Structure 1
Amino acid sequence: MENETITPVFTKEKGVDNKDKMPNSNIDFYYFLPSPPCRSVMLLAKALGVQMNQKITSILAGDNMTPEYLRLNPQHTIPTLNDNGFILFESRAILQYLVDQYAKDDSLSPKEAKKAAIVNQRLYFDACTLMPRLVQYMGPVLRHAQTPDKEKLGNFEEALGYLDEFLENQTWAAGSQLTIADFALISTVSTAEAIGVDISKFPNVNAWFQRTKNAMTGFGYEEINQAGCAIIGGMFKNKAK
């Protein structure tokens, strides 16, 4: 498994389902590459073969506060998806939608109740614990050039410890197969590594991290996720001086 690379085979084939479920280029995607949630969606879209019109929305430049953007997303968050008039924000909801709408099967988001519950638990853990704690640590540095807070780093590392336990004797985040939980979590964990968090302290997380990076090579991991990590990592380290 360590050397496995998964190629994009998740897309519905023509004739398998309704034509309106086929990937198309009429999807507008508003994103900012340093944003981990944006990157998770971009990786999944690549895996599914879903083409999107990518519209850079810089939160640093206030692109997310324009009247036009606020009509799409009153929360002024990123990412935002506009699929032929269907508007959706919150990245993990977008991950679920893309699979439900465009995947050829349910391998990335199982329908069986118990398997689905584990995927959802991992998604909620990322949304409600792991990512917020990372933001609490890196946010004051990025926004106000504050000295990194060791206590906040400790809180984030505590969450990584939880993830390490989840991954005990597991190949992927939610079990034996790659799911949308891996797409969400990889963007968070890779961002943490980029700003200097020592992932190697958590052996199960580190093994999963290396395995998932390799598996997502065919989904544009380097040009999407690693490129975004490099930007935010550079910003953090520059501000933290």
Structure 2
Amino acid sequence: MLRNDKRDTQLYYTPASGPCRAVMMVAAALKLKLSLKPINLMAREQYHPGFLKVNPHHSVPALVDNEFTLSESRAICIYLVEKYGRTDALYPKNPKTRGTINQLIYFDMGTLFKRMYEYYIIPFMTGTAQDEKQLESLNEAVGYLENFLSDKKYLVSYRLTIADLILYATVSTIEAFGFDFTATYPNITNWLETMKDAPGYDQNTEGIEMLKSFFK
């Protein structure tokens, strides 16, 4: 069951956002109850003065944990597991294991998510045509992930870590845009099946369905 106490941990979010869904999945894995504060990006609520006091960068997700504020989804995920994790299972303290997790988190931020954003989201927002070279670049990044999952059930070890939750939010977004993993990427396909049992899977799926409705 979710932990209920006097702590006020607020998450400003939009369900369709992959980074927001990553934070929600980590919170679910921690059994941490969040006070959810929806932000309608289409209505430009991220520019409202009240929200800008929370995050001057006008982006979601943003976390307010009592009087502490934090933005950037991956930083939020790490903060939550370090503060509220009862064990280090999601973010092991072993230097090699943690180093590998960090490597994957930075790979997601700087490569996989970035290339997905460039190929799918920017053309939608700007009304421009998709660039086949960017699709090749995205396929290259997906190939890196496929190789990383060779002979593994999870990304880093025999058990779930925040690397899986963060990367799953991105990969499920790519899949929602119509990218077919099944024919060429068997390791990712198997991992996606495994992740159906992950904490927060249902919340992630709800956000994916909302995302699909935007791009119809």
Relative to the length of structure 1, the TM-score reads: 0.84
1:68-217 matches, cutoff 5 A: 68-200=50-182, 201-213=184-196, 215-216=197-198
Aligned match of 2:208: 229
Aligned match of 1:63: 45
For residues 24 and 190 of structure 1, what CA distance do their matches in structure 2 show? Answer: 34
For residues 205 and 162 of structure 2, what CA distance do their matches in structure 1 show? Answer: 18
Aligned residue for 1:159, secondary structure, equals helix
Aligned residue for 1:199, secondary structure, equals coil
For residues 220 and 120 of structure 1, what CA distance do their matches in structure 2 show? Answer: 21
TM-aligned CA distance change 1:146 to 1:233, over 3 Å = farther
For residues 96 and 24 of structure 1, what CA distance do their matches in structure 2 show? Answer: 22
Aligned residue for 2:81, secondary structure, equals helix
The aligned amino acid for 1:126 is D
Q: CA RMSD in A?
A: 1.8
For residues 24 and 37 of structure 1, what CA distance do their matches in structure 2 show? Answer: 26
Aligned residue for 2:210, secondary structure, equals helix
For residues 52 and 23 of structure 1, what CA distance do their matches in structure 2 show? Answer: 11
Task: Provide structure 2 residue ranges, at least 5 long, that are not aligned to the other structure.
Answer: none
The aligned amino acid for 1:68 is G
Q: CA deviation at 1:146?
A: 3.1
Q: CA deviation at 1:34?
A: 0.7
Q: CA deviation at 1:151?
A: 2.1
Contact 1:25 1:51 in 2 (8 A): no
For residues 120 and 36 of structure 1, what CA distance do their matches in structure 2 show? Answer: 18
- Greater displacement, 139-148 / 60-69: 139-148
For residues 136 and 185 of structure 2, what CA distance do their matches in structure 1 show? Answer: 13
The aligned amino acid for 1:138 is Y
For residues 121 and 78 of structure 1, what CA distance do their matches in structure 2 show? Answer: 23
Contact 2:195 2:201 in 1 (8 A): no
For residues 200 and 89 of structure 2, what CA distance do their matches in structure 1 show? Answer: 20
Task: Provide structure 1 residue ranges, at least 5 long, that are not aligned to the other structure.
Answer: 1-7, 13-21
Deviations 1:31-76 (A, max 9, x none): 0011000001111111211111100012211111112211211211
- Greater displacement, 24-33 / 36-45: 24-33
Aligned match of 1:220: 200
Q: CA deviation at 1:232?
A: 1.7
Q: CA deviation at 1:144?
A: 2.6
Aligned residue for 2:172, secondary structure, equals helix
The aligned amino acid for 2:204 is N
